Chain A
Amino acid sequence: MSQMETRGETQNLTLVQAVRDGLRDEMREDERVLVMGEDVGKNGGVFRATEGLYDEFGGDRVIDTPLAESGIVGTAIGMAAYGMRPVAEMQFMGFIYPAFDQIVSHAARLRTRSRGRFTCPMVVRAPYGGGIRAPEHHSESTEAFFTHHPGLKVVIPSTPYDTKGLLISAIRDPDPVIFLEPKLIYRAFREAVPDEPYEVPIGEATVRREGEDVSVFTYGAMTRPTLEAAERLEDEVSVEVVDLRTVSPLDEGTILESFEKTGRAAVVHEAPKTGGLAGEITATIQEEALLYQEAPVKRITGFDTPFPLYALEDYYLPEATRIVEGIREVAEF
């Protein structure tokens, strides 16, 4: 975490606590900020991401809504256009779809349609991803639906420090941000997180591990197994791990800089292969850095199948073994 700035006091927080910390700080700083969703109030969210906020800010700013995602996001758009800074929670990414129309038809293009008169400074937060032994629809990664759509920013943090900083940037952003939280690592580890509000800029990737032979691009919950794979390969291949952090707009500069150094790349995500981010990154490399390329870009991803019930999820999710094998293939080409 080379870029970490620690100002003043810090606390050791998990990723989900960092979400709460970011929300709380922005609610204290800016009274236009409010949180709305299912069970975000007294219950503090099903993952406790809004714990304590209801007690501190009350029911007008930490709002339990009726069970209706389209209603939540649709009214949040109206609120955002009318001067508020809503942060809408979707309980799981798998339940965002009733709101899909509102997100893509309105949040994403209110600015365009009104030629800048109306804007939508709104955040839609949702836990995403597999690995927690959850029932159907609780494990998907469908970020590509949103990265495909112009007018949205899509952020996926992988550490507590970045989570707080990126969330604050997202809330302050003048445009709608889809903020996807890797629930597999909500409580996996702690990190020093400053008490003060701070921003981690949207649109900037970061190099988590420097290397010379192969660049591996990843984000969210897959960052950890990718780093583990890089470590396992230490004596064999020098692996550079780039954590994208923002998956739309992509940080082309950092991607290309790393690739031009190594000439070899793999992309790791748990979302299905077809139409996933890995394809976009691969194409970008082809377009911009073909002459540096020494091997085909390897996509290490979820399968092109519905996410299975949990007895089979370990097979579905890329983990260190699959990632090691993929990187090796690229290195040995």
Chain B
Amino acid sequence: MSVLQRDSGEQIQVLSENGQVTDESQLPDLTEDELVEMYRYMKLARHFDQRAVSLQRQGRMGTYPPLSGQEGAQIASAFALDDEDWLFPSYREHGASLVRGLSLKRTLLYWMGHEAGNAIPEEANIFTVSVPIATQVCHATGAAWASKLQGGDKAFICHFGDGATSEGDFHEGLNFAGVFDTPNVFFCNNNQWAISVPRERQTASETLAQKAEAYGFEGVQVDGMDPLAVYEVTKRAVEKAKDPGEGELRPTLIEAVQYRFGAHTTADDPSVYREEEEVEQWKAKDPIPRMETFLLENGYLDTEGVEAIEESVKEEVAEAIDEAESVTRPEPEEIFKHVYEGMPERLREQAAEFEALRETYGDDAFLEGH
């Protein structure tokens, strides 16, 4: 039986919390190098996250949503895609986006409030960051639908949170996916909290995965802090999206059960609504040491290798920060660009009027005050 056809309440796990293989049959088909690369991405995402939080604290960056604890789900789900597949991220998917080709520098620029951070390189199959919760679910369905109509052979993965499953757009997007049998993987990062609202407050359903049943396709719950299980489940879902079996629908809903170790964003104080004890319990499931143990015990990596990775991710992040911080403040004309293909006269006038004022009074007159 396919891993996707299990009871939606049965959580799929490949690696135990101690990094021991619990289910040989689901061990993904990855080379040593790929396993090590996945681990390195997770370390990179974690280190990036820590630096990003401290940049915000030092006033070098605006509000930032941390991802620590969620690397297993992000990295492994992105890793399971083929090059031509598409990612529709939420705002917390810096790790997944990195795997799919979005540089750390660009992610930093986005959270530093630079329009340049929004410019996704042509070669990266990543849609824009969607801040309004769950809205991207419908976009992912629509793009997958278009691809199918065009005779394409790609999968479209969409990431969103547990809270997102309460929004209408989540349900409408999944319903369309079922009706039009679109090649989608709906990847729910159930990190137990939607800011201060616990998962139980979002739905009376036992699992989020079971919601797929209402739309006629498979829903599966996976240990979201077990990168190997996440990889395996996502891989199968991607394969099914492209080439469903007899009588199967293409879409899948994956509920990756995990935890956000840090605050919702740097503007949030989780001590107001959750116990430190709960955080500690989930930290025991940390995907990184788990993967590390697996790699060490199987001889895919030694402690020197781990240290080398640690050094290299530090350098990589430091370099990205230097690059992002050396980008100067964008020119105000950026505000008026890309609103339409051409610039309507009215907009041109507004831009010109502002530019004239700026020439008269100088930049400082506008940059003070707020």
Residue pair A67, B202 in contact (C-beta under 8 Å): yes
Chain A, 81-110, CB within 8 A of any chain B CB: 94-95, 97-98
Q: Which residues of chain B are within 8 angstroms of A172 by Cβ–Cβ distance?
A: none
Q: Assess A70 versus B168: contact at CB under 8 Å? Given A97-B132, A303-B347.
A: yes
Chain A, 271-328, CB within 8 A of any chain B CB: 273-274, 303-306, 308-317, 319-322, 325
Residue pair B335, A315 in contact (C-beta under 8 Å): yes
Name the residue of chain B whose CB is nearest to the CB of A134: B63
**Which of A38, A39, A321 is B366 in contact with, Cβ under 8 Å?**
A321
B34 at the interface (CB under 8 A from A): no
Stretch at the interface among B38-46, B78-86, B107-115: B107-115
Total B residues in contact with A, Cβ cutoff 8 Å: 54
Stretch at the interface among B5-13, B180-188, B267-275, B310-318: B267-275
Q: Assess A137 versus B131: contact at CB under 8 Å? Given A308-B115, A312-B334, A325-B357.
A: yes
Q: Which residues of chain B are within 8 angstroms of A46 by Cβ–Cβ distance?
A: 195, 267-268
Q: Which residues of chain B are within 8 angstroms of A240 by Cβ–Cβ distance?
A: none
A44 at the interface (CB under 8 A from B): yes
Main SS at interface, chain A: loop
Stretch at the interface among B67-75, B159-167, B217-225, B284-292: B159-167
A8 at the interface (CB under 8 A from B): no
Residue pair B273, A43 in contact (C-beta under 8 Å): yes
Q: Which residues of chain A are within 8 angstroms of B366 by Cβ–Cβ distance?
A: 314-315, 319, 321-322
Name the residue of chain B whose CB is nearest to the CB of A309: B113
Residue pair A66, B201 in contact (C-beta under 8 Å): yes
Residue pair A39, B195 in contact (C-beta under 8 Å): yes
Q: Assess A304 versus B166: contact at CB under 8 Å? Given A38-B197, A46-B195, A135-B131.
A: no
B293 at the interface (CB under 8 A from A): no
Q: How far is the CB of B94 from chain A (nearest CB, A)?
A: 13
**Which of B202, B339, B358, B360 is A305 in contact with, Cβ under 8 Å?**
B339
Residue pair A133, B346 in contact (C-beta under 8 Å): no
Q: How far is the CB of B116 from chain A (nearest CB, A)?
A: 9
Q: Assess A67 versus B273: contact at CB under 8 Å? Given A39-B196, A39-B197.
A: no
How distant is the Cα of A69 from the Cα of B202 in the complex, in angstroms?
13
Name the residue of chain B whose CB is nearest to the CB of A307: B335
Interface string of B125-159 (1 = CB under 8 A from A): 00001011100000000000000000000000000
How distant is the Cα of A303 from the Cα of B110 in the complex, in angstroms?
22
How distant is the Cα of A57 from the Cα of B151 in the complex, in angstroms?
58
Q: Which residues of chain B are within 8 angstroms of A69 by Cβ–Cβ distance?
A: 167
Residue pair A303, B350 in contact (C-beta under 8 Å): yes
How distant is the Cα of A138 from the Cα of B110 in the complex, in angstroms?
14
How distant is the Cα of A316 from the Cα of B339 in the complex, in angstroms?
14
A144 at the interface (CB under 8 A from B): no
Q: Assess A312 versus B91: contact at CB under 8 Å? Given A38-B194, A304-B347, A322-B357.
A: no
**Which of B62, B115, B133, B168 is A134 in contact with, Cβ under 8 Å?**
B62
How distant is the Cα of A38 from the Cα of B273 in the complex, in angstroms?
13
B354 at the interface (CB under 8 A from A): yes
**Which of B132, B330, B358 is A94 in contact with, Cβ under 8 Å?**
B132
Q: Assess A304 versus B357: contact at CB under 8 Å? Given A43-B196, A43-B273, A67-B194.
A: no
Residue pair B335, A42 in contact (C-beta under 8 Å): no
A136 at the interface (CB under 8 A from B): yes
How distant is the Cα of A135 from the Cα of B128 in the complex, in angstroms?
14
**Which of B62, B196, B201, B360 is A310 in contact with, Cβ under 8 Å?**
B62
Name the residue of chain A whose CB is nearest to the CB of B265: A135
Chain B, 324-370, CB within 8 A of any chain A CB: 329-330, 332, 334-336, 339, 346-347, 350-351, 354, 357-358, 360-361, 365-370
Q: How far is the CB of A223 from chain B (nearest CB, A)?
A: 14
Residue pair A304, B164 in contact (C-beta under 8 Å): no
Q: Which residues of chain A are within 8 angstroms of B54 by Cβ–Cβ distance?
A: none
Q: Which residues of chain B are within 8 angstroms of A137 by Cβ–Cβ distance?
A: 131-132
A200 at the interface (CB under 8 A from B): no
How distant is the Cα of A94 from the Cα of B62 in the complex, in angstroms?
18
A184 at the interface (CB under 8 A from B): yes
Q: How far is the CB of A115 from chain B (nearest CB, A)?
A: 30
How distant is the Cα of A305 from the Cα of B343 in the complex, in angstroms?
11
**Which of A44, A68, A133, A321 is B166 in contact with, Cβ under 8 Å?**
A68
How distant is the Cα of A131 from the Cα of B334 in the complex, in angstroms?
18
Residue pair A309, B118 in contact (C-beta under 8 Å): yes
Residue pair A273, B115 in contact (C-beta under 8 Å): no
Name the residue of chain B whose CB is nearest to the CB of A306: B339
Q: How far is the CB of B60 from chain A (nearest CB, A)?
A: 12
**Which of A95, A136, A184, A306 is B370 in contact with, Cβ under 8 Å?**
A184
A41 at the interface (CB under 8 A from B): yes
Residue pair B370, A317 in contact (C-beta under 8 Å): yes
Interface string of A119-158 (1 = CB under 8 A from B): 0000000000011011111100000000000000000000
A64 at the interface (CB under 8 A from B): yes
Residue pair B329, A311 in contact (C-beta under 8 Å): yes
**Which of B166, B272, B336, B358 is A66 in contact with, Cβ under 8 Å?**
B166
Q: How far is the CB of B275 from chain A (nearest CB, A)?
A: 12
* A135, A225, A274, A314 interface centre (most CB from chain B within 10 Å): A135
What are 10 A-B residue pairs whose CB atoms fall within 8 Å in the complex? A38-B197, A67-B167, A67-B194, A68-B166, A98-B167, A133-B63, A305-B339, A309-B118, A315-B335, A319-B370
Instruction: Contacts A309-B113, A321-B366 known; list 6 others, CB within 8 Å.
Output: A38-B197, A43-B273, A184-B370, A273-B350, A303-B354, A306-B339
Q: Which residues of B contact A (CB under 8 A)?
A: 62-63, 91, 110-115, 117-118, 129, 131-133, 163-164, 166-169, 194-197, 201-203, 267-268, 272-273, 329-330, 332, 334-336, 339, 346-347, 350-351, 354, 357-358, 360-361, 365-370
Instruction: Please name the 10 residue pairs, one residue from A and one from B, whose CB atoms are nearest each other, closest first.
Output: A310-B113, A43-B196, A66-B166, A67-B163, A311-B113, A321-B365, A315-B332, A131-B370, A309-B113, A67-B166
